[in-house]
Amino acid sequence: MGTFGAITPGTDLPRYARELSRMHDALIGGGRSAMRPRPVVQRSWARVLGAGLAPDGAATRALLPLTEVERRRARSPLSGVIDDLTQVVAAVAEASQLLMVVTDSDGVILWRTGSAKVRERANTLGFREGAEWTEATVGTNAIGTAIAEATPVQLFSAEHFEQAQHPWYCTAAPIHDPRTGELLGVVDVSGPAMTLHPTISALVETAVRMAEAQLWRHHEHRLERLRTTAAPLLASVSGPLLLVDEHGWVAHTAGVAATRRIALPRKDRAVTVPGLGMCLPEPVAGGWLIRPAGAATRIRMELDLSDPPAVEVTGAESTWRAPLTARHAEILLLLHQRGRRGMSVAELSSAVYGDPDHAVAVRAEISRLRRALGSVVEGRPYRLADSVELSLTFGDAERLADCGFVRRAAGPAVRALAGPQDD
């Protein structure tokens, strides 16, 4: 994480707090100050002022109902590590006059523990379970600013935007899912400003590292349970395969090079796995068995260019239909026309957006298309997978005349069905 503290060893806290207060009053009031805020504080103040918040805002906070707090706790992956987090500060909380709060990714406080005296003071500030501590609601604060900046943040005294928070310090750091990088919440240690010690930053860093390590261990335990549950099945099948959890994380491999994760499996939707080719996931308790579909297995897709467009997919045992965006229908149509040659990112960008400079947008659309239909599109270059047979239906010819993507992407036969061109 690196150093993110607001003070250095030996800082005269009362004097520094007075200097920050004078700077805050001058700059927030639209004046000048010889002292400048730290860059992270300056950026946050600019966001908060732009949102129209006032520094003398009331400390009364709207609290979510307890039932909603309990619901969020139950859904949070952090519920499994909160006891360990609590132990990090429990031994020093009373003596050091601090408390720890843990929020969800929305900045809503779900758990709070620490000094009883400091909890009482925090109540008057609305710093309690069910309160949302984002910049948009309470101004510059370590929790909200850590979310906005996506980095650990420590604030001291008048670095907070609201004057009611000036008697406090707060030190916060985001906690991420170690598997995906997704923000799960924020851990914050706060207390009276004059009790801030440089080691508080290290305390928060330790708490975050411990929480993320515990989350990873929980993930490994879930994969181990999946392997144990599926052991009889795995012993009865032969050939290359993967056993993955409901999110695509690999618990077991046989006959194929190990990989950590595959695309999110969905029933009867094809997924392409390096070393296995096109596969149709088979549900098992707690996850999926992934085996090659075999050369004889074909995925038949019918692209319906009606208004709105849709696709009907027939797999090994079932048929399902899904709506498509016009953009996804256009991409499928282009790839169908190009055949096995496929299209590079630049070629798709030029065909869809009119220039080769939208590579990021093309990759994002392909990713969304794969999430909707499975791995029916291969990469480098982009092309329909070998086992996919795509056919077209054109719907109402009069409506096709209004489909701009059909005019741009379709071949002469399709354009003829769409009627004479207006451009």
Question: Does the structure show a pLDDT above 50 at 398?
Answer: no
**pLDDT tens-digit profile of 232-282?**
888 888 888 999 999 899 999 988 887 888 887 877 677 777 777 778 788
Within 141-212, strands assigned E span 153-156, 168-176, 183-192
Instruction: Characterize the bridge pairing of strands 299-304 and 287-290.
Output: unpaired
In terms of pLDDT, which residue wins out, 325 or 175?
A: 175
Q: How far apart are CA 203 and CA 154, in angstroms?
A: 12
Residues 139 and 57: beta-carbon distance below 8 Å = yes
pLDDT greater at residue 153 or residue 407: 153
Q: What three-state secondary structure class fits 245?
A: strand
**pLDDT at 159 > cutoff 70:** yes
Strand-strand pairing, 299-304 and 310-314: antiparallel
| pLDDT above 70 (res 399) | no
- Domains identified in the chain and CATH numbers: 13-218 (3.30.450.40), 237-290 (no CATH), 299-417 (1.10.10.10)
Distances (CA, A) of 65 to 107, 130, 299, 366: 15, 7, 49, 41
Q: What is the pLDDT of residue 322?
A: 77
Instruction: Give the pLDDT confidence score for residue 422 in this predicted structure.
Output: 46
Q: What is the pLDDT of residues 192-220, one digit of tens each?
A: 999 999 999 999 999 999 999 999 999 99
Q: What integer pLDDT is reported at residue 137 of this predicted model?
A: 94
More confident residue, 268 or 128: 128
CA dist list (Å): 397 to 328, 406, 416: 20, 11, 9
Mean pLDDT of the region 341-345: 92
Three-state SS for 349?
helix
Confidence at residue 413, expressed as pLDDT on a 0 to 100 scale: 39
pLDDT at 421 over 90: no
pLDDT digits (tens, 9 = 90+) for 74-104: 999 999 999 999 988 887 888 899 999 999 9
**Cβ proximity of 96 and 195 under 8 Å:** yes
Please tell me whether the overall predicted TM-score, pTM, comes out greater than 0.75 for this model: no
In the Cβ-directed half-sphere of 133, how many Cα atoms lie within 13 Å?
33
Q: What would the pLDDT profile of 352-370 be if each residue is shown by its tens digit?
A: 888 999 999 999 998 888 7
How does DSSP assign 273-302, residue by residue? Answer: ETTTEEE--EEETTEEEE-B--TT--EEEE
pLDDT of residue 395: 62
Mean pLDDT throughout 56-79? Answer: 90
Instruction: Give the pLDDT confidence score for residue 297 in this predicted structure.
Output: 60
CB-CB contact of 290 with 242 (8 Å): yes
Distance separating the N- and C-terminal Cα atoms of the chain: 56
Q: Range with the lowest mean pLDDT among 44-53, 55-64, 273-282, 380-389?
A: 273-282
pLDDT digit string (tens) for 1-54? Answer: 456 899 999 999 999 999 999 999 999 988 999 999 999 999 999 999 999 999
pLDDT value, residue 296: 52
Nearest C-alpha neighbor of 41 from the set 6, 17, 91: 6
Position 59 pLDDT exceeds 80 = no
pLDDT at 271: 76
pLDDT for position 411:
45
pLDDT, one tens digit per residue, over 271-320 is 777 777 778 788 898 899 998 876 556 678 888 887 788 888 776 555 67
pLDDT score, position 52: 92
Cα gap 111→118, rounded to integer Å: 15
| Dihedrals phi, psi of 259, to nearest 5 degrees | -140, 155
Instruction: For residue 380, give Cα distances in angstroms to 201, 301, 334, 344, 348.
Output: 45, 22, 15, 7, 12
CA distance 406 to 161: 54
Measured CA angle at 156 (ends 64, 77), to 5 deg: 40
Per-residue pLDDT of 312-322, as tens digits, reads 877 655 567 77
How many other β-carbons are positioned within 10 Å of the β-carbon of residue 303? 19
